[in-house]
Amino acid sequence: MPLPLIIGAAALAAAAYGGKKGYDGYQKHSEADEIVKNAKDRYARKRAEFDKQESDTQYALKWLGELELQIGKSFGDFKTLADALLSKLNTNRQDKLEIHIPQHKLQKIEGYSYSAIGVLGSMAGAGAAGAAAGFAVYGGVMALGAASTGTAISSLAGVAATNATLAALGGGSLAAGGLGMAGGTAILGAAVAAPVLAIAGWAYDSHGEEALKNARNASDQVTNAVSKLSAAEESLNNTEECARKVRRGLTSIYAQFNGYFDNLKQLNCFIEDLKGRNVDVDAEINKLGDSILQIIENGYALAAILTDVITTPLFKLKEVNGTVVRDENGVPEMAKDSDGSMILNVDAVDKALSQADTDAQKFASV
């Protein structure tokens, strides 16, 4: 074969070989691109689901916290009016009228009320929603800590507000690049960081295998992240359901409490109105004594029932040898699972709600 033809054939063979390598490189690059695209899509879908659940859970906790704060403030208002009416009833009386509610129950109600009022006073602006959500998690624990250790509830109110903000915000929402509820002080222990999906450019041929390797590694990272997000999403969903269940139970009993509170307000208005009439005010007040006393006692009984529910922690407390572990402020610490996440106190919450419903039925008539 003439030399030019040999050279030509060799060139054609080389070109064909190079073309095949280029095509193989292109195929590997295309496969890598497809793997990365699918990984990104999988992560984006799961992340969207997680972010929605996080938002729903945040709202449920905020909703519950706002109700609990409102209840706590109402207790303070109820006590102020009850004390004033009792004072009027006992004016010029030798046999002083007294309410028959155990002192430890009254102290627990008062402690919770101070806690709620303290946090309400520290809430302001955009942080109010976060504090309300966090109060649903920490508020009852604060009152429980004070009741158990004798710690001044006024000092714990500031701790509650701080912890509440941390719990609710966790360093910023996930959408904004923060940890959201996956923060270390919040419900979820481990942050679920977005995997590194961006892969540096590579040559079609010599880096084809490396492209596939990087793409598969990124896909594995996404699979792991999606698994963590699924577990975190389930935890947040369970928290949302628990918060809504507690709020339903509290709302029903709080309506009963407000019925007695409204009656007490009406009686107080009636007594104030008597002062402008030509009547023996003290005599008229004495006629109302038994009714006022019964309303006050029933109101406090319902307040005690509500307080027992609210101070049942949503999450389990950390215990060592049967004793609750407390921090330097006397606040009980939360138990954590192997992932560092707080553990829902489902059985205790259900038991408290069931007992509250049974006890509240005794005061169904206002």
Which sign, positive or negative, has the C-alpha torsion 73, 75, 76, 78?
positive
pLDDT score for 3: 43
DSSP label at residue 180 = G
Lowest mean pLDDT among 41-55, 133-147, 238-252: 133-147
Residue 20 has pLDDT above 60, yes or no: no
Q: What is the mean pLDDT of residues 155-163?
A: 52
pLDDT score for 342: 82
Q: What is the pLDDT of residues 170-219, one digit of tens each?
A: 333 333 333 344 333 345 655 455 565 544 333 333 366 777 888 888 88
CA-to-CA distance for 115 and 112, rounded, in angstroms? 5
Residue 224 has pLDDT above 90, yes or no: no
Q: What is the mean pLDDT of residues 97-125?
A: 80
Buried-exposed string 299-325: b where 16+ CB fall within 10 A, e elsewhere: bbbbbbbbbbbbbbbbbbbbeeeeebe
**Residue 198, token pair as written in the block:** 């961006």
168-175: long-range pairs with CB below 8 Å, 24+: 168/58, 168/61, 168/62, 168/129, 168/130, 168/131, 168/132, 168/133, 168/134, 169/127, 169/130, 173/54, 174/47, 174/50, 174/51, 174/54, 175/51
Q: What is the pLDDT of residues 23-48, one digit of tens each?
A: 455 677 788 888 888 888 888 898 88
Residue 162 has pLDDT above 80, yes or no: no
Q: What is the mean pLDDT of residues 216-230?
A: 84
pLDDT score for 232: 82
Lowest mean pLDDT among 90-99, 234-243, 267-276: 90-99
pLDDT score for 181: 41
Banded pLDDT at 341 (limits 50, 70, 90): confident
Q: Which residues have CB under 8 Å from 237's CB, separation 6+?
A: 53, 56, 57
pLDDT score for 365: 66
Q: What is the mean pLDDT of residues 271-299?
A: 82
Q: Where are the domains of the chain?
A: 3-363
Alpha-helix residue ranges (DSSP H) falling in the chain? 3-90, 103-122, 127-149, 153-169, 208-274, 281-287, 289-310, 346-360
Residue 272 has pLDDT above 60, yes or no: yes
Alpha-helix residue ranges (DSSP H) falling in 170-207? none
pLDDT score for 19: 44
- The distance of Cα 189 from the centroid of its chain, to the nearest Å, equals 14
Q: Mean pLDDT over all residues of the chain? A: 75
Coil vs helix vs strand at 106: helix
Q: What is the pLDDT of residues 289-319, one digit of tens each?
A: 888 899 999 999 999 999 999 989 888 888 8
**Would you tell me how many other CB atoms lie within 10 Å of the CB of residue 353?**
20
Question: pLDDT over 90 for what percent of the chain?
Answer: 23
CB 80 within 8 A of CB 122: no
Residue 169 has pLDDT above 60, yes or no: no
Q: What is the mean pLDDT of residues 45-72?
A: 89
pLDDT score for 15: 39
Buried-exposed string 142-177: b where 16+ CB fall within 10 A, e elsewhere: bbbbbbeeebebeebbebbbbbbbbbbbbbebbeee
